[in-house]
Amino acid sequence: MAVPQLVAVPQPGGTAQSGDRQPAAQPPDAVVVLENAALVATRTKTADIRPDQWFYIKESQHMGGDLPAFEHWSRMDGRGSAVRAEGGELRIGDGEPNARTDPSRTQRELEGLPTDPDALLEHFRNLKEERTPLSICGPTCPAGAEGDVRAFGAIGWYMKFGPMIPADTTAAMYRALAKIPNVTIEENTADGDGRKGIGVVLTVGESKGYYILDPGDYHYLGMKVVDGDGAVAMSVLDSGIVDGPGQTP
């Protein structure tokens, strides 16, 4: 579903004449765009995942010097993991049950999240442990912005696990994003790999944190942070549930 375009409404005081200057296009409204994303999410079927299946993700990092893309497989019961750098060999190892990267732990957390957007936002604002793909303002966040930054970061942290997220939880995340002050929409925003999408932007002081969503179905493409030092980014190039290491969706 495309981002809705705002329609110019004629202003009182006369009829527009040929050659009159048209009003400048306004940026899409965050509430409208993110509600559309939520509605698409509610119509998406969540996969039934077995404990012996694996969560697959392919990511790239752009931290000033581009690193090779890498693939990672995590067995859903935490009993195995595998990794392969771009162009490299598959390396299979033991998992770390209940570690931060254990998908079964992430799945339990996702299933326990509130599906009411206000309750979800409050939950994320009060997290004791920061979770974010990339730090927007680090230890120098302006006073009073910490809760919003924490919530914005946590939503992105979980969105990278898209195939594991229950549909109603995904919808709640989009609606919670719309409730964070200073969140705006920028169209045709490029991720770290040059893919264009819908930018969901949190501005904090001189820094901007972007989540880039696919313009078709709103799935999460990645994150980038832009500040006075330049830009850093992380992209999710592919993800899904597979039956074994080395397989891709």
Q: Answer whether residue 45 shows pLDDT above 70.
A: yes
Residue 11 in domain:
no
Q: DSSP letters along 47-97, please?
A: PP--TTSEEEEEEEEESSSBPPPEEEEEETTSS-EEEEETTS--EEE---T
**pLDDT per position as a tens digit, 193-213:** 999 999 999 999 889 999 999
Tell me the pLDDT of the chain averaged across its residues.
86
Query: Which of 60-74, 87-101, 127-141, 195-209 has maximum average pLDDT?
Result: 195-209
pTM listed for this prediction:
0.85
**pLDDT per position as a tens digit, 106-132:** 899 999 999 999 999 999 999 988 888
- At residue 106's C-alpha, the angle toward residues 61 and 46, to 5°, is 95
- Token look-up 């230890």 returns 139
Residue 104 in domain:
yes
Domain around 158: 32-242
Residue 248 in domain:
no
Give the residue-averaged pLDDT of 222-229: 91
Residue 20 in domain:
no
Query: Structural domain tally of the chain?
Result: 1
Give the residue-averaged pLDDT of 155-177: 95
Q: Answer whether residue 53 shows pLDDT above 90.
A: yes
- Token look-up 């409404």 returns 9
- Token look-up 């509130």 returns 114
Cβ partners under 8 Å of residue 121, min gap 6: 151, 176, 179, 180
Residue 127 in domain:
yes
pLDDT the model gives residue 96: 73
Compute the distance between CA of residue 45 and CA of residue 53 in angstroms, rounded to an integer: 18
Residue 123 in domain:
yes
From the list 32, 41, 43, 175, the residue with the least C-alpha distance to 117 is 175
pLDDT the model gives residue 101: 67
Q: How confident is the model at residue 95 (pLDDT cuts 50, 70, 90)?
A: confident
- At residue 232's C-alpha, the angle toward residues 158 and 125, to 5°, is 35
Residue 25 in domain:
no
Residue 185 in domain:
yes
